[in-house]
Every structure is written in C-alpha cells, then in structure tokens.
Structure 1
Amino acid sequence: MNKHPTISRSTLHEPTRHDSGPKHVSGSAEYIDDMIEPAGTMHAYLALSTKPHAEIVAIDYAAVKAAPGVIGVLTAEDIPGENDVSPSHKHDEPIFAAGKVHFWGQPLFAVIAETRDQARRAAHLAKVKYKDLPFALDVRAAQAAGGQLVTEPLKLERGDVAAGFEKSPRRVKGSVTIGGQDHFYLEGQIAMAVPGEDEDVTVYSSTQHPSEVQLMVAHVLNSQQHAVTVNVRRMGGGFGGKETQGNLFAVVAAIAAKKWNRACKIRPDRDDDMTATGKRHDFVVDYDVGYDETGKIQAVDAVYGARAGFSSDLSGPVTDRALFHADNAYWYPAVRVRSEPLYTNTVSNTAFRGFGGPQGMMACERWIEDIAYDLGRDPLDIRKANFYGTDSENVTPYHQVVEDNVIHRVVDELEQSSDYQARRKAILEYNAGSAILKKGIALTPVKFGISFTATWYNQAGALVHIYKDGSIHLSHGGTEMGQGLYIKVAQVLADAFCVGLDAIKIMATSTGKVPNTSATAASSGSDLNGMAAWDAANQIKARLVTHAAKLYQCDEAAVEFVRGGVQAGEQFVEFAELIASAYLNRVQLSAAGFYQTPKIHWDRATGRGHPFYYFAYGASVSEVTIDTLTGEYVVDRVDILHDVGRSLNPAIDIGQVEGGFVQGMGWLTTEELVWDDKGQLRTKAPSTYKIPVASDVPPIFNVRLAEWSVNKEPTIGRSKAVGEPPFMLAMSVVEALSMAVASVADYKIAPRLDTPVTPERVLMGCERLKREARG
C-alpha cells in the first residue's frame, strides 16, 4: 500500500495525443450524420432565393407539396415564436425571408420530407415571383450607395493626431483591399432535433455555442430554455463558422420536430452551405500615416470599411476587433481608427478565426511596407523601429497598457535561428542575376489580445463527478471542433487529481450539464474551461483532504495528492481506495466549477479599457519564389517561433500553430470569394474555391514554441491561448511575395498587393511595377 503506482499516461504540459485522434483516422469518431436516426426521422432542406435584393410578390408551393415524399412546408407563418436567429440585439436576421430578400441564397422556406433527397429535390420546385430592387455587393459599392451601416461603428483615438501629422516630415496615404474567406469546415452545417414530452426537445447541433442554439430554439418555439437541451460531442471543424451560423439549421429542425412530433435532421449540400452561411469579412482600409526619416510612425488615421452583409450578426464585434489589432505589435504616438460595418446585399458575414484581428493587422503591415519602400529600407527595420516598448511607448489605441511585451525577444531569436539576414542578402544577389524567377523573404510579428471583448462572455462552468470506483466524469461548456480542447481540459483534471488520463471520461458538451456557456471562440476555450474544471477539482480535493486527515489521523496539511493517490502523513492511499472510503463516509464527490476572467473591463462608448487579459506573441519568416511571366509562385520555407506560455500540450499546440499558419496562408493567397454581377456567389465548391492542400505546405516548415515563456497572469498552467494567434503568422507570406514583386522595379516602388495574393495578382503586380518603373 505504501508503494506509489506507476502512471503510464501523461498529464499536464506533456505532448499527449488528441483524445479522438485514433477515431478520426479510423473513421469511428461519431458526428451527427453518423448517429443512428430515430425511427420515422424526417429530413429538411432549405429553399434559397435567386435574387440579391427583391420584394417577394408571390410564392406558389403547389409543386413542392405534391412532390414525392413531402410531408409539409415550413414558412415564416409556421414559426410559433420569433422569426429570428440573430445573435445581436437588433433581431434583424429572419429564419425565412418575410416580404423581401436581401441576398442571393437567403432562405425562403424549408421542405420537410421522408428522405433528404426528396426534400432537396422538392425545394427547387416552388414558383417565386420577385420585384427587383437595387443592390450593392461590396464595400466600395456600399460606400457609393450612401454607406448604410448594419450596426454601430467604433472609434478608437489616443494622442493628438493632427499634431502628429504636422510634425511628420513624410506621409503616405493609400488603401488596401483584404479579401474574405469561407470556413470550409470538413463537416458542414447540420442539426437533428428529437421531440420530447410537453415542450421538451433535444437538439444535436454542430455548433460552437450550444447555449445560443438553446436560446434561439426556445425563442423560435415560444418556450423556455429549460425545455431545450443541446448536445455537441464534436464538430468536424468550425473556425468561427459554427458560432452563430448553426442557429438557422437547429431551429428549422426543432420547429419541424415539434410540429410533426417526429425527429428531424437537416444537412445542406456544400454549395448551398457556402451560399447561405456567412464568411470572414472582407475589408477595404483607407489609411493616412505620418512618419519620420527613420521610419518611426508619428500618426495614424484609418477607416476600416467591411462588407458586413444584410444583417448585423457579429459584424459589430468583428469590426471592433479589427480596430483592436490595428496596431499589431507597433506603438503609435497618435492614432485614430474608425470602423464602418456596411450593409451589403450578400450573406451576413460572421466570426472567423481571429475575429477581425487578422484584417486589422494586415492593414498596418501594409503601411509598414509602404514606409519601408519609400525609405529604401528592409521592412524588418521599420517593424523593429515601431515595436511597443516600455514606459510611455506601451499604450494601445484603446488605452490598455501592454505589460507583458516579449515581441523583441521573439523576433530577435527567430531572426537569428532562421538566419534571416544572410538569406535576405543571398536573395538580393539571386534576384539581381535572375530575369524570370524572383525570390522574396519577410519576417513579420504578431501580438494578439486574449479575451472576449464582450466582457460577460469571459466565464465558464464545469461539472466533475467522481464515481465509487475512482473513475471521473468531466463535463464543461467548451466544444471540441478538432482543436484539442477536450484533451487539454482532461489533462488539467488528471493533473489536479494526480491520476492517469484513462481515469477521465470526457463527456459531450450539453446545456443540460453546464448552463449558460460561452461560445468556444476568442482563443479562450482552454483558459476558461480549464480553470472551471480546476475549480471543480479543488472543491472535491478539499473534501477529500479533510476526509483523509480524519481517516488516517493526521493534520490536513500533511495530506498531499501524489501520483496515483494521496499521501496522508506516513500512509499512501491509492486514489480508488480513497474514493471508495469517501463514499462510505458520505463525502460529496461532485462539484460544479466556475471561472471568470479577472482584470478585464471595456467601455465601448469611450473607447477605453482593459479588454484583454494578456497578449500572445509570435513571429514568422517566409521565403518564396515567383515566376514573373506567369505569376505562379511557391512558398519555399517557413520558420516560426510562437509564444504559448507554458504549453498545456506541446503536441496539440504545435499542430495548432502549423494548421493556423496554413489556413492563414490560404486566406491570404488562394481563397478568393467571387460574386457575379447578378449577386450570386460563384466560388461555392472545391472546384471553384481553392483551399490549401497538402502540396501547399512549405517543404521546409520549422515550427518552434517559445519554451522560455511563462504567462505572467495566473492562467491555467501559466499557459497562453493558441487557437487564433498563429493564423496571423501567415502575413509573412504576403510580405515575402511583395518583396519578390518589388524586385522587378529594383525595390523602389511599393507593390501594394491586395489579398488574396493570387498568381493573377502577382502577375498584374509585376506588370504594373514594370510600367511605373519605365515612367
């Protein structure tokens, strides 16, 4: 009994495999479409508008209702409660269009049939009569039409901007177009609803925000939240696309399930999914920047116009977040930045990894680049000259003091380890002797604030049970979309109780277990849910310590959790034995944990506060080769150093850095969204929308975590968030492509490439610079 058993499974801070990894590769991981359907399950399919902006004059459903297998049609009139799934207070996103359509692909009604194929075919049979209305599809068109906003804009201001410009010997004005991005999750939107007695309904939803789905279903059914249970075991990808976009599908399934008292499932095809659901906001940023002869920025004034779509969705917070990251890692003595979330006749854009932050950073990297080419300097020199420092040079545009700045160390270390200076010199020599192929290299930083800027979302709950045999049941409010949140929180719990991971049962996220959950977003999943689970564990441990001290007649201070059990004075007791005795002595072996992020506050009206608990940092070096005759290019090598604090799971975190970089590279280089002049999205399938594939991964891809980093704030395990920050590391690819293009004009003209930097844009950029160089 006194011998400590060996624990074979790793716990906190160890590189541990994803809990569902073997299931993913074997195909045994269960997603909603894999679940056994209850007998009599119906299938729903959405009918979508074929006009970007029009009055609905009439809809003839006769052919739809007469189609084989059709059970019925759901319209706005069939909704018991509110015809709305908007996450904002504006309630401006109807489930089914009522009287007017605002974008091509807006749901008109849903067909309910015995099979999915029958519902899908019948959805195309309605005869819809429209009266066309004027429409605007992009930022410039919306601005030209008067600039109608879908939600309130934000302004951040600090310092005297006019005085800053007055003392700036140099000034650059310009604009940059930053493209959007489709989430292209492997598992599309899907939901299944199973009716219960009274008002009850259970919804299986592929969502990052179970509590919001619960709320939406309750509102739509005109019931209370306690009647709705939402379960989420896993998603096949989310990236923000399932934070609000799953609401529509869940409520349609729930309405049908309660109306006909039969289970109902809905799953759109990929093209309809891409047409009807929101994407990353594309931006046009107009800027005016003053600076001195050394490249030191003196003043910034910029307007961030965003294609928000037809409704507010999350456009307010997304465009707010773009302003929060308009500085990236740079200090501006005087700054004024304003958001412009514009109404357009396109699908309402939504959350996407980085939540507006990447767009804010790309804009500021553009004017850093402009300054460098104007002064004939390496852009890295301009970046270093403007990094946040200490004392007065550490205040953000939103008046938060940067207290944990490590960007100098990260960049210096990566510059050395990647041999950046020698490689840049060799590339300059190569380009001088190569007429067709040109190379580029760039090193870019990332500073990313961690926390929801909506302060109330910075909370989490967890439920932990220990059973009589010592096995542990873990539930929390976070959702698993492949990012490894479940395994990280399980590691937290295993570490707290000093047991192996095999003692922990990871349960599906359920609103019936943990209420009022926040979305798994803002990179905060591990921070929030890990701390909530840790709190629950500590409550139970305190009871067990009291029990052990009494049972083994020692002071509570002499009771310590050790590997495999508890050391109570001179006595070692195995964990399972301790739990069995605790049960017999009526010790409570269950606890609800809770956590709220400290220190944070934000006043949107004044543009001041401390919205972020801490910052995560990183840097990347990318090297590229372009063909100036075709515009084609390859990313030859990437080096990354990223700060995750003390990593909870280095294997998972490195995977997040690698995946985030590649996804960011796709956003910035290949993933182009195109609407035609009729308002229809044309890039709505893998045949027309190019995400990165295995062959796009750089052949030399060196990724390291900053092992010396420890979060100064008391986060779980002193770790830092890793979900979103690595996404922005891909900015170095754009900057490297810019250098390669600039070489055709001897680096004397800023290339000003809009994103995505497709081969076409590389080719056109080369031709434009050649013309400008000739005069």
Structure 2
Amino acid sequence: MGETREILAPTTGLNGGVRSASKHDSGPKHVTGEAVYIDDIVEPYGTLHLAPGAATIAHGRITRLDLSKVRSAPGVVCVLTADDIPGANDVSPAHTHDEPVLPDGIVQFYGQPVFCVAAETREQARAATKLAEIEYEELPAILSIDDAMAQKSYVAEPHVMKRGDSASALASAPHRHAARMVIGGQDHFYLEGHISFAIPQEDGDVFIHCSTQHPSEVQHNIANVLGRPANAVTVEVRRMGGGFGGKETQSMQWAALAAIVAVKTGRPAKMRLDRDDDMIMTGKRHDFVIDYDIGFDDDGRICGADIQFAANCGFSADLSSAIADRAMFHTDNAYYLGDVEIRSYRCKTNLVSNTAFRGFGGPQGMVAIERIIDEIALTLGLDPLDVRIANYYGGEGRNITPYYMTVEDSVLPELTRDLLKSSDYRARRAEIEAFNAQSPVIKRGIAITPVKFGISFTTTFLNQAGALVHVYQDGSVHLNHGGTEMGQGLFIKVAQVVAEEFQIDLDNIKITATNTGKVPNTSATAASSGADMNGMAARNAARTIKERLVAFASNHYGVDATAIHFLPGRVRVGDKADISFAELVKMAYLGRVSLSATGYYATPKIHYDRETASGRPFYYFAYGMACSEVMIDTLTGENRVTRVDILHDVGQSLNPAIDRGQVEGGFIQGMGWLTTEELWWDDSGRIRTHAPSTYKIPACSDRPDDFRLELWSSGRNVEKTIHRSKAVGEPPLMLAISVHRAIAHAVASVAGHKIVPALDTPATPEAVLKAVARLAATSAVAVANSASATGTAGNDKVPAASGAGMVGVGAPQAGV
C-alpha cells in the first residue's frame, strides 16, 4: 500500500502533519467567542428550561413532598419526581444501582436534587423550585472519612495489594517512620458547567446535545431511564468548555432529566446548572486519609512499607473503585517497593458522590509517597533528591511494581541528569539554605519530584476506540471518532494523523462532532488515552481507504503496488503518473471504489487480575520531572511559587504546541489542588465553598514568574503507540507535587530541618501558618527534652511535629 514507515520527524512540505505545532482547531473561535457550545445553540421555538429542587438535609426520609405551589407557579409546564421516570430510576455508571435520577423517598446528601421543574424560562424554573414544601425524618449522617471507617460504611469492598512480607521487613528495618496524611479534594471548576439539551424526535426517540466525556454511556443510561433501546437515543458533543473527568459520568443525571421532559412534553428541553448548583450537586476529586508505616536503611532506601488509603467516595459508588485502585497502582510513583502491603477503603458518606478527576486517584497515591521520601530524607539528614534516586526503579530485581508489572521503559535516570543540569538544583538548594539561615521571617524552599504515570484504562475492556473516515470526490476528508474535545486538542491531533496518512494538508480535513450515531460503543475520553486510541483507530480507517486507492491505481496504471507512493500533496504512481490526491480520489470514485471506512483499535498487551492484584494494567508509563522553588511568609502563611523548571517526556510529540499547553495547564491545575483549592463542608453536610467567592482556583497572577518548560528531546515510546508518542493529559498534573514539597522544605527550615513538618494538602496560607506554629512549638519542646519528643515510630532521629497530618490542629503561636 505504499509507504508505511514510522514518521519520526515532520514531513517536508506537508502543512499540518504529525509533529507540526499546528494550532488548536477551535483556538481562534475560543478567543473570538465564535466557538459554539451547547448553550450557544439556537433554541427551537418552545424550548423548556429546567431547574433542580434540592434537599436541605444530608440524610433523611422524605415524609411530605408538596409540589402544588411549584406546579402552579408562573411558566411551569411540568414537574418531575421519581414517580415520573418511565424506565429505571438509575444513572449509576458502574451498574451498582445506587445513584437515582431523583430519590425515591430517601435523600443522601445536602443539595441532592429531589425534583425537577420545567418552565418557559430558566428564571421561572429556578423561582418555582423555591416554592416546594418538603418535610423530612432526619437520619444519622456520616460526614467524614473517620466516621465512615468507624462504622465500616463502604460503597465497595476494601481491596488489598501485597508483595513480599512487609511486616518482617518493617520489623528488621534500621529506621522506621509512621504518620498520617490528609489529602483534600478538588472541584473541577470547568468554564462550562453541566448542560444537556434534548430535542424530541419521531417515535419517542431523542437527540441530546450533552457536555460529556462519555457520549456512549450517556446514550445507554438515558435509554435505560426512558425504558427504550440504545438506538432510540443519539448523543452528540462538538466541544466542552473543560471536563477534567467531571463530565465522564456525572453528565448522565442532567441529560436524563432533559430527555424525560423532552419525551414527556414533545418540546425541546435544556438543563443548564449555574455555578453554585454545579459545585453543590456534582462530585469532585476524592479526599483521602493515608496512614503509613515505612522502614528504611541508612541510605534512605525503603525496606518495607505498610500503607492504608481511605477515600471519601460520597453517597454512591460512581467510579470510586477504579479511582481507589489507581491510587494503589501509583503508591510507588517512581520507586521500587519490594516488601509492601497497600490497603484501600472506599468510604460511603452522606456527601455528594465523588468522581473522576484528572489523574483518577493517581495524584493522591503519588503525593503520599513523595511526602514519605521527604520525611525519610529529613530523618537521615540527606538531600531528598538523593533519597529519590536511591529508590528509583532499576534493573532486574528492582523493576517489579507492587502489582507485579515489570517496569521496562523507565527514563528517570536520564531525565534526572538533564533536569539537574538545566535547573542548577544543587547550587540553588545550597543558596536557599544560606538565605534561610539569615532570614527569620521569609523562608524559601526547593524540591525536585518525578512522575511515573501508567497509561491505559485499568478496566481492560475500555481500552478500545472506533473512527469513521469519508473521502469525498474532491479529495476533502470527513473525520469522526469516539473521542471528545474538551479543549485539550484531541481533535487536531487525530486530524494530523489522518493528514499524515493521506499526505494532504490539514485544511482538507473536516473535524466533526462526536456522535453516537456515527461511531458506536466508544469509551470515555479519559485515562490520558484519547490520542493513543482514537489516533490509531482513525489511522486504521485512513489506511483502509489508502489500501483501496493503491490497489485501484496499481490496476489502472498497470504498476506494482510497491511503486505507488503518497507524497506531500500528490501521489506518485511509479513512472506512469504524478497526480494530486484529489485526482486519484476522483478516478477511484468513477472506478466504483469505496471511499469510506471505519477504523478500530484495541490496546495490546494489557491485562489485570483484580482478585490477585497482579498483571499489566498499563501499556506504558509516561515520565516527567519538575523542580519548583517557593517562598513563604512565616507570619502569615502566604506562599508563592517563584520558579519552576519542567522536563517532560511526551515521546515523539504529535503536536508540540498542544503538548506544551497540556503540560503547563496540568501543572497549574495541580498546583491549585495542592495550595489554594480548599473544599469545606459545615456540620450539617452543606458545602460552603460553592462559588468563585469562596473557592480559590489559581489566577494568572499565581503563575510562577519564571516558568521554564521543555519537552524532553530524547523522548520516544518503546511501545508502538501512534507515531511513538506518549499521553500528555494527566501526567503533568503530578509535576505540581514539587510545589507542595518545596513548601514543606521551606516550613522545615523554621526548625533547622530537624523536625518533620506536618503539612497536608492543600497548603493554604492557614495550613502553612499552622504547620509553622506546630513546628516552632515542637522545636521548643525538643530542645528541652529531645528524648521524649520523637513522636514517631521506631528509632527515627528526627521528631515529627505534633498533630502530624491533621490540618487545622492547634493555633498559631505568638511571635511566629
């Protein structure tokens, strides 16, 4: 079929093939406001607007639900309760049947939608929800991980991952350290909130514009809710204003309500949550409590580890089992854990059900092990980077993960070498230590942390993708696949793959909306696998058409197929012809050659046995490293990132411009999770951080003044991914762990790096100030009686601050 070589460099003369820094296909539309999102679609006459009515307790039985005033309110057309759902009252993504569209008698979190109003205008619908009269019999509510653990309240069974004999290894370790870490959650804060626009069709069918990362699952769930087959529901997504995992499963409830109203009334129906309702009613990144006991030798090498995760899942399972599993998978991050036991508890609480978020549990596992590494280093008086290097995965005997997967592709030694050189880490750390010794109030910190992140869905069957490619008579191309565009640049990358295959300019390819009627049964755009899978599926579709064109040209011109080459903008047919792609396509059409093809791809090699917690859940690993420098004010707890150096491996980049944007954005989002984005619920279970006024995402002014980013020039995927590229969606977020560890380094300087600082996440100014205060108080006690103030298990040389791991414990000390 002509040339099928691997492309490792941009193709000369091709406008927009792989490796070119082509602009985002919607970029100009984004900045000019011309990009059409769901709320921009012109509403047909008679469109109804929906608003949810919410519960005002965390847990209870509805004893009276009087909606008569709601139904008679101006503009109201219909009101939905659980009784109005024609099919199954269930939108649980994991088929656990624990997440109703609307509750049937029992409410399970403060803010849970109890009913839904459809009115002529959004304002009328929202006003009508306030007229409901609801009475409850309140039931005991579980509002914390500790309460859930005490009551053994879980959404799924606990899970254990074990390798070697951790108990014996801990008992014989020269040093031992035990502590607790509390990791806060994070709101997705996408620019476009949840929205679905349902348009009724013939025969009770429905067409839904939905802001979702998983159109196929929305399709199947809405069909189930309507009591119809999947072919009665079509879901389309042209673009989302951000997703980050929050629109992988939690779009379904809002799409279901819009679909029910559309079918029930025969009128278009739109459900658009405002920011407050979105933050109150939809799930977030899971908060965790992690308890660990670590044994290590004099060089800081980990000898044994016992680690326990407890994740706050909220009231339903959602994707919590897979998320908690991935936290376990990433407990090691870059480090070999020979004798280790990891236990995971999936806690059921009376809070909104938490869900997927960029990294999908991986960040929580990785931030814990990075804190552990720092605490080992502090205990031994070593540079944390040297302890990290000592624990890196290595050759045979030190290359097996806790889940028995062999690490075959590590590039961390090379990345470390290159980043050490470019960041000048050693000299800067020495200069910072000298600065801190002379500065009583302002303290600086620096840290380098690595990233090793597994790429693939850990649920094996999800690792599949489909695509559809049409070539029209004039040589223009229509491209469709199951991936969704949420601003990350997936569509342009896949289009570049097709342009490369046909050797045509990118402008000749029409990128079209994801539609379940075109490519069925697709997986979510998640797990950083969008380009890997959809790029391969689209390439396979294009190659099918290309093979047909080659066969036609071979027969038509009487030349061998091997003499036919697709070159930039033209096709060379041996010594017989040199014609444009469009000319060949026209000839093939007249010769009755099919110019349309589907493509399919299933990720190879992966398998995982959950019962034995062993296998190969990932096709490969993505790697990166970041060096972050910070400054804190010990009188206020304020902190600022002053410089960041990032070296990230994207393999052979499909689009360097898009990949750089993903690395930069992921880092900043991770920095927000670890420093400013604090979620807070009151004692009634009501979230109080539900708007930009109370929830702080990073602003432009929070970006480091000195931000140095390089895509690793030596990168190349050892696996046969699309053009040897690597995933770039999630891994960069974990680069921001270096910021948290740099803040901890600055805090530790208050006590001369003699005491382990108890700094959890997020490291808000309040948390930093309290950590400084605890450190100062503990240091004073340690000076008086060091023998009685170790506060750690075993024979640590360095005491831990009192209240370790408990954000909010203690009050600032005078003079700190």
TM-score bracket relative to the smaller structure:
over 0.9
Aligned letter for 2:629?
A: E
Distance in 2 (alpha carbons) for counterparts of 1:441 and 1:234: 39
| Cα separation, 2, equivalents of 1:124 and 1:472 | 51
Shift of 1:7: 5.1
Question: Does 2:136 correspond to 1:130?
Answer: yes
Which one of the candidate residues 207, 217, 229 is aligned to 2:222?
Answer: 217
Q: Percent identity?
A: 59
State which drifts further: 164-173 or 615-624.
164-173
Q: Which residue of 2 aligns with 1:618?
A: 624
Say what the alpha-carbon RMSD is for the aligned residues. 0.9
The 5 Å alignment of 1:328-339 reads: 328-339=333-344
Q: Which residue number in structure 2 is paired with residue 422 of structure 1?
A: 427
Q: How far apart in 1 are the matches of 2:270 and 2:147?
A: 38
SS at match of 1:573: strand
1:257-308 Cα distance to aligned partner (Å, 9 max, x none): 0000111001011101100000000000011111111111011111100110
Structure 1 segment 130-529 matched on structure 2, within 5 A = 130-144=136-150, 146-529=151-534
8 Å Cα contact 2:538/2:599 also seen in 1: yes
For the residues of structure 1 that align with 2:20 and 2:755, how far apart are their CA atoms?
Answer: 48
How much has 1:326 moved relative to structure 2? 0.2
Q: Structure 1 CA distance, aligned partners of 2:43 and 2:13?
A: 40
Is contact 2:184–2:287 with CA below 8 Å preserved after alignment?
yes
Show the counterpart of 2:110.
104
Q: Which residue of 1 aligns with 2:586?
A: 580
The one-letter amino acid paired with 2:465 is A
2:88 is equivalent to residue 82 of structure 1: yes
Task: State the match for 2:785 in structure 1.
Answer: none
- Within the alignment, does 1:47 sit opposite 2:48 as a pair? no
Which amino acid counterpart does residue 398 of structure 1 have in structure 2? Y
Three-state SS of the structure 2 residue aligned to 1:774 is: helix
TM-score, normalisation: structure 1: 0.99
User: Which SS does the other structure have where 2:154 is aligned?
Assistant: coil
Does the CA-based 8 Å contact 2:53-2:129 persist in structure 1?
Answer: yes
Q: 1:72 and 2:78 equivalent? A: yes
8 Å Cα contact 1:745-1:773 kept in structure 2 = yes
State the SS of the aligned residue for 2:397.
helix
Q: CA deviation at 1:140?
A: 1.4
Q: In the alignment, is residue 660 of structure 1 matched against residue 666 of structure 2?
A: yes
Aligned-partner residue type, residue 368 of structure 1 = I
- Tell me how far apart the structure 2 counterparts of residues 562 and 164 of structure 1 sit (CA, whole Å): 61
Question: 2:14 touches 2:569 (CA, 8 Å); kept in 1?
Answer: no
Give CA-to-partner distance per residue, 1:620-651, whole Å, 9 cap, x none: 00000111111111100000000110000000
The one-letter code sitting in structure 2 at the alignment partner of 1:755 is: T
- Counterparts of 1:140 and 1:702, CA distance in 2: 41
Q: Which amino acid aligns with 2:87?
A: G
- 2:719 equivalent in structure 1: 713
The offset of 1:392, in angstroms, is 1.1
Query: Contact 2:14–2:503 (CA<8 Å) still a contact in 1?
Result: no
Aligned partners of 2:459, 2:722: CA distance in 1, in Å? 21
Amino acid paired to 1:319: A
CA distance in 2, matches of 1:677, 1:414: 46
Q: 2:370 is matched by which residue type in structure 1?
A: E
Question: Per-residue CA shift, 1:10-41, capped at 9, x if unaligned?
Answer: 21011111000000000000000000111111
Q: Secondary structure, in 3 states, of the residue corresponding to 1:14?
A: coil
Pairing partner for 1:628 from 617, 634, 645: 634
Which of 536, 541, 547 aligns to 1:542? It is: 547
Instruction: Note if 1:17 corresponds to 2:23.
Output: yes
Q: Does 1:671 find its partner at 2:677?
A: yes
Conserved? CA contact 1:188–1:267, under 8 Å: yes
> Which structure 1 residue ranges, 4+ long, deviate > 4 Å from structure 2?
5-8
Shift of 1:215: 0.5
Residue 111 of structure 1: how far off its partner (Å)? 0.3
Q: Deviations over 1:682-710 (max 9, x none)?
A: 00000000000100000000010111111
Q: Is the Cα–Cα contact under 8 Å of residues 154 and 604 in structure 1 kept in the other structure?
A: no
1:173 is aligned with what amino acid?
A: A
> Which of the numbers 62, 84, 90 marks the counterpart of 1:56?
62
**Is residue 205–residue 232 contact of structure 1 (8 Å, CA) maintained in 2?**
yes
Unaligned runs of at least 5 residues, structure 1:
none
CA distance in structure 2 between the aligned counterparts of 1:627 and 1:347, rounded to whole angstroms: 35
Deviations along 1:719-752, whole A, 9 cap, x unmatched? 0000000000000000000010000100011112
C-alpha separation in 2, matches of 1:729 and 1:6 = 34
2:439 aligned partner, one-letter code? S
Contact 1:366 1:752 in 2 (8 A): no
Alpha carbons 1:7, 1:500 under 8 Å: kept: no
Contact 1:32 1:192 in 2 (8 A): yes
CA distance in 2 between counterparts of 1:506 and 1:371 reads 51
Matched, 1:742 2:757: no
- Residues 181 and 672, structure 1, Cα contact 8 Å, conserved in 2: yes
Runs of at least 5 residues in structure 2 that lack an aligned partner in the other structure: 1-10, 782-816
Q: Which residue of 1 aligns with 2:610?
A: 604
AA in 2 matched with 1:549: S
- CA deviation profile, 1:226-259 (whole Å, cap 9, x unmatched): 1110000000000000000100110000000000
Cα displacement (A) at 1:97: 1.1
What amino acid sits opposite 2:164 in the alignment? G
Question: For each residue in 1:308-347, what CA deviation from the matched residue of structure 2 results, as whole angstroms up to 9, or x when unmatched?
Answer: 0000000100000000000000001101101101000100
Deviations 1:64-87 (A, max 9, x none): 011100001101111110001000
- 2-side partners of 1:410 and 1:179: how far apart? 30
Contact residue 164 and residue 333 of structure 1 kept, 8 A: no
1:685 paired residue number: 691
Match of 1:725 in 2: 731
CA distance in 2, matches of 1:267, 1:7: 46
In 2, Cα distance between the equivalents of 1:400 and 1:279? 30
Q: What is the alpha-carbon distance in structure 2 between the residues aligned to residue 9 and residue 46 of structure 1?
A: 48
- Deviations along 1:154-198, one digit per CA (max 9) or x if unpaired, are 211111112211320111111100000000000000000001111
Q: Which moved more, 1:361-370 or 1:23-32?
A: 361-370
Decide whether the 8 Å contact of 1:71 with 1:112 is kept in 2: yes
| Residue in structure 1 matched with residue 700 of structure 2 by the alignment | 694
For 1:50, the aligned partner's letter is T
User: How far apart are the structure 1 equivalents of 2:12 and 2:754?
Assistant: 65
Partner deviation per Cα, 1:33-56 (whole Å, 9 max, x = no partner): 000111111111101111001111
Q: TM-score by structure 2 length?
A: 0.94
Amino acid at match of 1:40: G
SS in 2 for 1:393: coil
Count of residue pairs the alignment pairs up: 770
Seen in structure 2, the aligned counterparts of structure 1 residues 13 and 230 have a Cα distance that, compared at 3 Å, is: same
Question: Per the alignment, in what secondary structure is the counterpart of residue 371 of structure 1?
Answer: helix
Whole-angstrom distance in 1 between the partners of 2:439 and 2:358:
38
Deviations 1:118-177 (A, max 9, x none): 011101110100111111212112223x12110132211111112211320111111100
Instruction: State how far apart, in whole Å, the 1-side matches of 2:32 and 2:15 are.
Output: 22
